[in-house]
Structure 1
């Protein structure tokens, strides 16, 4: 969550928006998704923050995985 220390653009929720935009276009592997999101994200995107955002989306039911391919569920 954004706070005094974490800017909105560095929050997991904001990064999740970029993940959902990319995965809504087409299903892809984890590595391909990371590369695609990292190119469109306005800052350098660490693997840790990307992984946390993907985990967040899995927990709230927006993503699912089948045969190592991630796809949106909305």
Structure 2
């Protein structure tokens, strides 16, 4: 069953504003997510060498005694 009195040009004009509004919301949300991710990354510690929790432990690998 088809819709009566279909006027595609009139429907295009009526739907353009809501579609642009939805597009604007999606772009804004994506911008917020990217901003949040970059802020979290810039405030992080980053990769690095962790200090051992044991004060007597040596940070060097293979520094044990040889037999």
Could you tell me the TM-score, scaled by structure 2's length?
0.23
* Larger RCO of the pair (alpha carbons < 8 Å, separation 6+): 1
